[in-house]
Amino acid sequence: MNINIYYGGRGIIDDPTLFVLNKMQEILEELRVNVTRYNLYECKNTIPTLPQTLKDADGIVLAATVEWYGIGGYMQQFLDACWLFGDKERIAEIYMCPVVMSTTYGEREAKLNLDTAWEILGGKPCSGLCGYIESTVMLEMNQDYLRLIEKKAENLYRTINQRMVSFPASNQVVKQKIAVPKTNNLTPQESEQLSQYVSDDSYVQRQKQDIQELTSLFKDILSDEGGEEEYLGAFRKCFKPQAGFDADYAIAIEEKKKKLILSVKGAHLECYYGTVENPSVEIQLNRAAMEDIVGGRMTFQRAFMSGAMKMKGDFRILRTLDQLFLFVDAQSPAQK
């Protein structure tokens, strides 16, 4: 018989839960049980991989210490990992004994939380231990308490050995009907491999960097390569030449790496994305402002006056831009 102990406390010397676990482990080993202890505070970087250790377990002990409220973060992380990466078919065969000692209020609620969590995972909870213990001296000097711990360890051994059955729990039925989790369509082996990746901090950091690089790459592709002709047709269509007027406009649009260049030489217009040396006016604005201008809902001058656009250069040349490009077709009747 194999029993795993998962301890979710901080490992402090005077932790009463540790005393109870040591006593239970001693009794179980006398009964020739293979006992393996996992201190979660020592395994905090590999908690996502711990559900793999349930493979060969016939029963487990989930132990927590209530120091201020609840079962603590390490135990919650372990239960989360069981939900995300654990083999539910294997968990359904495992008995769980909760052990919760408290140095403050809340041991019964914490024990109930462990029972409920294991039932939702599909496992089999059995009778556990909970109590308010101010100091481990209370346990060491009280023979009745020691006998109680021994009996609980023996009952755990007997329950597992005899494969005792219990009535189905209502939270299992409710979970199956109205709280069905989303399936990830992964095999237990794939879940184990995923849990190993999750626990590898360097792997996670590399994945985050790769995602950021891919996001930036596709963003550039969409904004530049996918939009090489964006706005060009609108400017060419609405171009109204001004006799004897020459100017170069460089428009930087948010999310586009290349600038929109409008090179006006009298009746001739060159319109493209790229660069131009010493533009007459440099403009910077976001996509929404550019959409309003091209749609006839706003002029370049109004965009500048409202703060939606920034410019550098001769303001008179900027004002001429609204005369060169009359985006009036999309304007409302009031604007016309």
Q: Which residue, chain included where needed, has tokens 């793999």?
A: 52
Between CA 272 and CA 289 the distance in angstroms is 19
The fold adopted by the segment(s) 232-324 is: Nonspecific Lipid-transfer Protein; Chain A (3.30.1050)
Q: Is 187 helix (H, G, I), strand (E, B) or coil?
A: coil
Quote the tokens at residue 210: 């790769």
CA angle 180, 185, 188 (to 5 degrees): 100
Report the predicted TM-score, pTM, of the whole model to 2 decimal places: 0.58
The residue type at 311: M
Neighbours of 226 (CB within 10 A): 11
Domain locations in the chain? 2-181, 232-324
pLDDT of the chain along its 336 residues, tens only? Answer: 999 999 999 999 889 999 999 999 999 999 999 999 999 999 888 899 999 999 999 999 999 999 988 898 999 999 999 998 888 889 999 999 999 999 889 999 999 999 999 998 989 999 899 999 988 888 888 999 999 999 999 999 999 999 988 887 776 665 566 545 555 666 666 666 666 665 666 766 777 777 877 776 666 555 554 456 788 888 999 999 988 899 999 999 987 888 999 999 999 999 999 999 999 999 999 989 999 999 889 999 899 989 899 999 888 898 899 999 988 754 444 443
Between CA 33 and CA 27 the distance in angstroms is 9
Q: What CATH class has 2-181?
A: alpha beta
Closest to 81 measured CA to CA, from 37, 25, 35, 43: 43
Between CA 255 and CA 301 the distance in angstroms is 22
